[in-house]
Amino acid sequence: MRLTLRLVAALVISTTAVTLLSAFLQERQERSRLMEDLDRRAAIAGETLEEPVATAVYHQDGREALRVVGKYSRRAHLVGVAVFAADGKELAESPALSRGDAVIKAAAARSQALEGSESAVAEIEGKPRHLYAMPLRRDGDIVGTLVLVQDAQIVESRIALMWRRNFMRLLLQAFLIMLVSLWIVRWNVAAPLEGLAEWMKSLRSGEPSEIPRVALDILKPVASEAASLAQSLSAAKAAAEEEARLREKAEAVWTPQRLKEHVRNKLEGRPLFLVANREPYMHVLRGRRVEVVTPPSGLVTGIEPIMLACGGTWIAHGSGEADRENSDAHGKLGVPPDNPQYTLKRVWLTKEEEEGYYYGFSNEGLWPLCHIAHTRPVFNPEDWAQYQAVNRKFADALLEEMKDVSSPCVLIQDYHFALLPTLVREARPDARIALFWHIPWPNPEAFGILPWQRQILTGMLGADLIGFHIQFHCNNFLETVDRYLESRIDWERFAVGRRGHTTFVKPYPISVAYPPQPAAANAKTAPDKEALFKELGIKARFMGVGVDRLDYTKGIMERFRSLERLLEKYPEYQGNLVFVELGAPSRTHIKRYHDLQTEIEAEAERINWRWKAKDYKPIVILARQHSHAEIEPYYKAADFCLVTSLHDGMNLVAKEFVAAREDERGVLILSRFTGAARELREALIVNPYDTEQMAEAIRLGIEMEEGEQMRRMRSLQRVLREQNIYRWGGRLIEDLAQIPSADLPAGSQASPSASPKT
């Protein structure tokens, strides 16, 4: 109540002040206008009287002057008229002016002295009078003066009426302000606060409910913080319950809390430094508004839960249009934006550097090389030079961040930074460095076409630990090193000894965050396939889904042809089966990717032309960047998910689909050329090059009994639970931290502030 009274009082006082100031200015304006109106009336009357009065004055005919004066003295607002000769002698005067002779004579004298009209307001007999004096001319000479006296009381009457009206308006405004303030406080502040309090009370009692929408709209900052706090409490409670359950069953599932404690113990409190080309959050422009988006990336999906659990610094290329404006002078900011838990440091690249290092050497060279040349690799010396320069730039940024940290722990991500481990090792021999290669590693013969093979391998072997998704890629790497570098391969420990340094090579199959966190679990809704179909303008019974970057390694054309074959063989699915491809355009600067998108759209159109109807087509392509929140409903509603990569390191889409199926329904159809196929054995494993096999797998998935779907999905989710992203991070960091001291390079106890070698 006190808040309401203070609010009402403040509003009334401010409104009163504004009204009084406005009324004061209005009074001045109105008074000036009324006086100008009196001047104008007097001037008009003076012009009418000037000729006959001037003639009478010229002839010293006082009787005629008096007659004219008497005739005009009876006009409205005109109190009287006085006529004076040039020598100041009064020739005629209205009877009502007899007591104001001195004031009127003074006005006449001023007008004659100025040789022009003169107006003033004076008090005569206690009443305000408007005096207008003007010289009388005859043949160009001043022969006398005419003074018109008007009643100025109308000015004061009008001003008084204006103040009375403003006062009544002020009272009405104060009353309305009080009513509106009471309504706003009650329904837009008090009620949302009460709803928020009830919501928090339900959370405290262990009966979580959805946050009130009114509270979220009106009290957004408070509601957002309350929601974050509630999620943290729910997460902590769920983690404690999960830990208790696991202890009871003697299980050892990895959770964010367990990983955080594990990393703290292994790193002994030292921060974690992670280097990746892709940043986890981008600031982009949407018109004039800046939005924070999460870029579509399997690396971000896999790695960010580690940073959220452990904290530290993520060093990445700042590629968003508004990234620089939303970072500090050192390119740093806390993320996630709504609840910072680790630091993002952005490295700025020129357009030439990005073209050569990222689009050129990394994605026209290393990417097709490692994916067994589904398109021909391109190796340009200019791109290689930019790749070297950018690796050096990232090395400098990393060394700057960890200059005050003793024995820092560094996780380098992917093929963009093959040279970085050795660059860091040369400057900081005390650092523990791990390089995780997210894409396949080819056989030695395929790798042998790379002109700078020795430099790439030498750069990678600066790491203490190199990780791949599967053992097969580890074997390929060791064989490649054995073929092209002078080194000692320890096949028993899977290690490379070279120049007094040992690098261990191990498989670490990456995964996703599972089980879902409480925040996500509270927001779950039942899959609504019909709503998705309606949104797409489609009528059908079955839905398949594919989620990919539009990349030639993903087998998108192959899956379309298998869908076509299914519809040919089994006509009952024509008009009943729709496949939705959520394809994110990628690397469109590169001609092969640009052409691929055109090919994919043309192939879909060709197939759709065969069976499309008014509200049906078998393939729907949504070719744009999609957030995880936009993808999730399709995962939940689909009858099957197609993951048909022709060659892939892991493919987290397969694991995301399994993690999303809280209903334990749906079928995963998975290429045997993915790393995920080694773990997710209850999926329907296919050869994406075999169109007939793929078509039969789709039919089997659609027709699979509910009980069999549940059995398979539970088995797949058991794998995710046991091999989740937290276990991946825990294993990787533990292995890095436990590398025997004998395997560290000489000088590992060097001062953290040692200058980098040039």
pLDDT of residue 37: 84
The whole-chain average pLDDT of the chain stands at 85
Q: Which of 86-100, 111-125, 502-516, 646-660 has the lowest mean pLDDT?
A: 86-100
In-domain check, residue 560: yes
pLDDT of residue 683: 97
The structure tokens 């070719």 sit at: 623
Alpha-carbon span 566 to 568, nearest angstrom: 5
pLDDT of residue 582: 94
Q: Residue 748: pLDDT above 50? A: no
pLDDT of residue 755: 34
Omega within 30 of 0 (cis) for the link into 256 = no
pLDDT of residue 383: 96
In-domain check, residue 153: yes
Last residue of a domain, one of 157, 177, 210: 157
pLDDT of residue 523: 46
Q: Which residue has the higher pLDDT, 585 or 101?
A: 585
Element (H, E) at 368: helix 367-370
Which of the four pLDDT bands, split at 50, 70 and 90, describes residue 208? low
Alpha-carbon span 379 to 679, nearest angstrom: 35
Q: Residue 739: pLDDT above 60? A: yes
Range of the domain at 579: 536-734
Alpha-carbon span 91 to 52, nearest angstrom: 14
pLDDT of residue 12: 78
pLDDT of residue 747: 41
Which of the four pLDDT bands, split at 50, 70 and 90, describes residue 527? low
Q: Residue 40: pLDDT above 60? A: yes
Alpha-carbon span 114 to 633, nearest angstrom: 91
Mean local confidence (pLDDT), 131-152: 84
Mean local confidence (pLDDT), 181-187: 74
Mean local confidence (pLDDT), 738-755: 47
Which of the four pLDDT bands, split at 50, 70 and 90, describes residue 22? confident
Long-range contacts of the stretch 376-381 (C-beta < 8 A, 24+):
377/449, 377/450, 379/450, 379/451, 379/452, 380/356
pLDDT of residue 301: 79
Domains contained in the chain, number: 2
pLDDT of residue 117: 84
Mean local confidence (pLDDT), 689-714: 97
What residues pair up with 667 in beta bridges, in sequence order? 640
pLDDT of residue 238: 60
Q: Residue 245: pLDDT above 60? A: no
Share of the chain above pLDDT 90, in %: 50
pLDDT of residue 753: 35
Q: Residue 181: pLDDT above 60? A: yes
pLDDT of residue 250: 46
> For 207-281, where are the E strands, in sequence order?
272-275
Q: How far is CA 631 from CA 297, 528, 532, in A?
A: 13, 13, 11
In-domain check, residue 526: no
Alpha-carbon span 548 to 521, nearest angstrom: 25
pLDDT of residue 600: 95
The residue type of 392 is R
Q: CB-based contacts of 327: which residues, under 8 Å, 6+ apart?
A: 318, 333, 346
Mean local confidence (pLDDT), 487-497: 95
Is residue 361 within 8 A of residue 452, CB to CB? The reply is no
pLDDT of residue 749: 38
Output the CA torsion 705→707→713→717 (10° steps).
180
Q: Which of 171-180, 331-340, 664-673, 688-697 has the lowest mean pLDDT?
A: 171-180
pLDDT of residue 204: 63
In-domain check, residue 519: no
Q: How far is CA 343 from CA 6, 316, 408, 730, in A?
A: 42, 11, 16, 20
pLDDT of residue 351: 94
In-domain check, residue 653: yes
Q: Residue 101: pLDDT above 90? A: no
Q: Which residue has the higher pLDDT, 445 or 523?
A: 445
Last residue of a domain, one of 157, 183, 207: 157
Mean local confidence (pLDDT), 461-467: 97
Which of the four pLDDT bands, split at 50, 70 and 90, describes residue 1? low
Alpha-carbon span 683 to 701, nearest angstrom: 10
Alpha-carbon span 514 to 512, nearest angstrom: 6
Mean local confidence (pLDDT), 396-412: 94
- Of residues 122, 125, 126, the one with CA closest to residue 149: 122
Q: Which residue has the higher pLDDT, 19 or 457?
A: 457
User: What is the secondary structure of 178-225 as a DSSP string?
Assistant: HHHHHHHIIIIIIHHHHHHHHHHHHHHTT---PPPHHHHHHSHHHHHH
Sign of the CA dihedral with 155 first, then 158, 162, and 168 last: positive
Q: Which two tokens stand for residue 437?
A: 């290669």
Q: Residue 752: pLDDT above 80? A: no
Last residue of a domain, one of 128, 157, 186: 157
CATH classification at residue 33: 3.30.450.20
Omega within 30 of 0 (cis) for the link into 444 = no
User: What is the secondary structure of 96-131 as a DSSP string?
Assistant: GGGGGHHHHHHHHHHHHHHTS-EEEEEEETTEEEEE
pLDDT of residue 229: 62
Is residue 679 within 8 A of residue 474, CB to CB? The reply is no
pLDDT of residue 50: 77
pLDDT of residue 518: 52
Which of the four pLDDT bands, split at 50, 70 and 90, describes residue 206? low
pLDDT of residue 388: 98
Output the CA torsion 516→520→522→525 (10° steps).
-100
Which of the four pLDDT bands, split at 50, 70 and 90, describes residue 522? very low
Mean local confidence (pLDDT), 474-482: 97
In-domain check, residue 183: no
CATH classification at residue 730: 3.40.50.2000
Q: Which of 6-20, 229-243, 384-398, 619-633 has the lowest mean pLDDT?
A: 229-243
Euclidean distance between the first and final Cα of the chain, in Å? 70
In-domain check, residue 739: no
pLDDT in tens, 282-296: 998 888 888 888 887
Q: Which residue has the higher pLDDT, 453 or 168?
A: 453
Mean local confidence (pLDDT), 628-632: 88
Which of the four pLDDT bands, split at 50, 70 and 90, describes residue 400? very high
